[in-house]
Chain A
Amino acid sequence: DAGVIQSPRHEVTEMGQEVTLRCKPISGHDYLFWYRQTMMRGLELLIYFNNNVPIDDSGMPEDRFSAKMPNASFSTLKIQPSEPRDSAVYFCASSPPGTGAPDTQYFGPGTRLTVL
C-alpha cells in the first residue's frame, strides 16, 4: 500500500501566482480531508469530501481557496491568487468506509508551501 500521496512536496511561488496542490488517497478510502498546519494556528481542517462530494468546507479561509475531487483517486487544492500568509504545510488525509462518519485518518507527507 503506497499510502496517501501528495505532490509537490515543496512549492515556492511568488505572491499573486496560482498554486495547485495534489493528493491521491489510499485506494478504497471514501473520505478525503485537506488540512493546513502553521506554527501559529496548528492543524486546521479546510475541507473534506465523502464519495467525491464536498461535505464541509467551513474551514476554507477565503474564496481564494478552492478544492475539487473529480474522482475517487484524485483531489486538488487550489489557491488563486496566493499570498504570503498562505505559507504553511498542507496535508491531505484519507479515511476508509466505516460508520458513515470519518474515523481513523491516514495522512500524506504534506506539501510545504512558501509564498514570497
Chain B
Amino acid sequence: SQQGEEDPQALSIQEGENATMNCSYKTSINNLQWYRQNSGRGLVHLILIRSNEREKHSGRLRVTLDTSKKSSSLLITASRAADTASYFCATDAYLDTGRRALTFGSGTRLQVQP
C-alpha cells in the first residue's frame, strides 16, 4: 500500500485564495518532500522538510510536518492560475527490503480558477 495519502483528492479554488493539501503516512520517515506535476509532464521538486523540522517556507509555499501524527500539509498562498497541477507528497523511508527510497502518494489535483 502507498505510504503517503493526500487529502483532498481534488481541490478547486479561485485565484488569490489559499490552497491547503494534506498528507498522511504510516511509518517513520527521514524526510518528506512535495512535488508538483503539470499535465503531461514529469514531477518537479518543490520543497523538502526533514524529520526534525516542523515548518518550512519557500516563496508562497509553506510546509508543516507533525511526526507524532504522521502528517504534513502544503499551503500555497495567493494562488495563481499557473498553480493548477497535481501535487504529490513523497516520504523518504526504508522499504520492506531494508533499502531507503521515496514513496509517493496518490496526489491532490488542484484547479485554480482565474
Please report A residues at the B interface, Cβ cutoff 8 Å.
4, 33, 35, 42-43, 45, 48, 55-56, 58, 91, 93, 101-110
Contact = CB atoms under 8 A, between A and B. Distances in A.
Contacts of A4: 42
Interface of B: 2, 30-31, 33, 35, 41-45, 48, 88, 92, 95-97, 99-107
Given A58-B97, A101-B92, 7 more contacts: A35-B104, A42-B104, A56-B101, A93-B42, A102-B101, A105-B43, A107-B42
A36 to B, nearest CB: 11
A56 B98 CA distance: 9
A56 B42 contact: no
A91 B96 CA distance: 22
Given A58-B97, A107-B43, A102 B105 contact: no
B42 A109 contact: yes
Contacts of B33: 104
B106 A42 contact: yes
Decide if the interface of chain B is mainly helix, strand, loop or mixed.
strand
Nearest to A47: B101
Closest 7 CB pairs of A and B: A107-B42, A56-B99, A43-B104, A107-B43, A101-B100, A42-B106, A58-B97
B92 A103 contact: yes
Contacts of A102: 92, 100-102
A64 B38 CA distance: 30
A104 B45 contact: yes
Contacts of A108: 42
Contacts of A48: 101
